[in-house]
A and B are shown apart, each in its own frame.
Chain A
Amino acid sequence: MKPTGKLLTAAAAALLALPGISSAQNIAREDTVIFDLDRTIRDPDNFNWMTDGTGIRRMHGAHQTMWEPLFILNYGTGDLDPWLATGYEGNADSTEFTISLRDGVTWSDGEDFDADDVVFSVNMALENEELSAREVATLRAQVAAVEKVDDLTVRLTLNAANPRFVVENFGVRIFGSFLIMPEHVWSRVDDPATFAFNPPIGTGPYELASAASNRAIWNRRDTWWGAETGFMDMPEPARVIFLESGGEESRAQLMATNQLDAAQNVSVGTFEAIRIQNPEVTAWHDGYPYAATDPCARQLEINTTVEPWDSANMRRAVNHIIDRGQIVNIAVEGATTPSRTMFVEYGSMTPFIDAVLKAGHGLSAKPDVAAGQALIEAEGWTRNGEYYEKDGETLSVAIHVNSASVEYTRTIDVVVENLQRAGIDARAVPVENSVFWGEVLPFGTYEMSYSWLSCGSVNEPWASMGRYTVADVVPVGERSPGFNNTARWDGHHAEAYSEIVDRMKGMALGDPAVPGMVAEAYGHLAAGMPFIPLVQSAKLLPLNTTYWEGWPSQEDYYNHPFHWWNSGHQIIHNLTRAN
């Protein structure tokens, strides 16, 4: 071969090796499944999920391949599918829960997984305030004590009645669950808050191969308790990669060229463009609008401690000015619907949504700018040219927005435009994903921001409503417990609201008094307006059937398609190699 030929061959080989991170250990592309990650893995050597408020130390594959949950909530059936546990029982007033663990589960280093691990993990969460992940904070706030009944049974005693305790803490209802850590590793650690847990071990069928800031690679182990006990077959993918794609364009290009098997959210236009180039790409629905309903409806968060937004009237003015219909049409390209309340519009939420609407607290899809401006003027602001002014100061607002998705930035572009036209000098402040979740939101260092922090309710109202009670108010600069009430909403409406919501907390799921209480509490929420619900969330996740089949869809609804959640185990187990 001529030298130029050699050079070209070498260059081609190098190019081929670039996307093929899989070249190590010779695992073929068709045995590898590549998931998309929408954020940078900050600190890729640290696997202590309990000190990470952003979720990245789990969603890069750790809690989809290595750490398994006790249960997984099935969105299709509403059942709690058992995983590491086999079942649970609560006492009559829902203050004590007994969880039965599965027999034969082992950690990847061969040690048994048993009640000692659960008791140890829960106690660690109770005793260490510095462990700040949302799931840890939630558990700490609810559990009074934990005890081992026998090797496969634990009993948890709660501070207050909570019929939803298991699904809320151990059921992967939204994104994650409280993950059990191996006692034989963590008990040797002096300070769990500074422990990096590297190399990490879990009970799942995969183990860490390597992690860097833009990707994490997980290889299938030779053995797994699930296959040995007959719980489930070994998953087919020999390797799972989570890769930071870096934005809509590269996400789409990677998908079109089969370098990605499951992508994060894209816009409708981009999805249609991908399909033209790669007909093997599917989504939740086969036709328009393709997207699956996400349980976290979108909202404008407001920091109620910052002037002039500390006034409820000013917040309500903004609510009147925002054009939800325009957000749906422009930002989400018609793929969703305007929110009418704070709740996700699942069928199981209908009684509560209807109660709120009947009480007259529903939100309008159309703006009423004049009503909004009247409220602003009543607060002493006068319009001088483009903007409102008071005492020589212009009425302005900076809206922090996570720059990870076009959906986020485009929605805020619409909101900024609405406010500008109404006389408020609004501007968007785009922030990197991990800064947004790690620094801006929990510490209240914003005026307004775009997020979904009332997310939680799927089939009952308390999980969402309970996030805005006065018990969770902390000063700006301190971390909001579990991202609850980051608005720092207090005052008489907030207190009246909290009182009703606290009473609701201990009531059974089907209690007929609940819808009425929801409507009453919602009256205070609508008057105080600590956040402004915008639109329902639709996630358009392109899924590639070139190498793998068995992705979740409306037709094959074994669970929702959110592959960065702790329920990702189900997706990986369900994948079969395409012919």
Chain B
Amino acid sequence: MNIVWNVQEVLMAGLGGVIIGIAVSLMLLWNGRVTGISGIVGQSLKLVRGDWYWRMAFIVGLFLGGVLMLALSGPERFIDTTDVSMGTTIIAGLLVGFGTLMGSGCTSGHGVCGLSRFSPRSLVATLSFMASGFVLVAILRAAFGEA
């Protein structure tokens, strides 16, 4: 293992995390809900009456957050240095969509909100997707020499 440290990167990661922590706190405080992005997106596909507009508003907000940061700091923080092909991107998207709904959550719902509630389900889910991500990247690295 070769560890790549960068103090500024770590500080930005922590700051971004704190902002995310504030966002999920406000969702619980105001709307009484956890902020599970895969659930919000997945349920919005079902067009359930009464709970569709706030979900769409949240998704539009996520997008506008990107627009705002793009305007403020430019495209640098969206740069994709990987050479993942379109085919792989499609397979990845299908796995993420199907898997997050089957597993009832993703990084936000299980990894942040669930762990904050000390939910045993979310702990198991978070350990599972982390382990699976680590193993998958290790396999890619072993097979192709790079990830």
Q: Do A and B come from one complex?
A: no
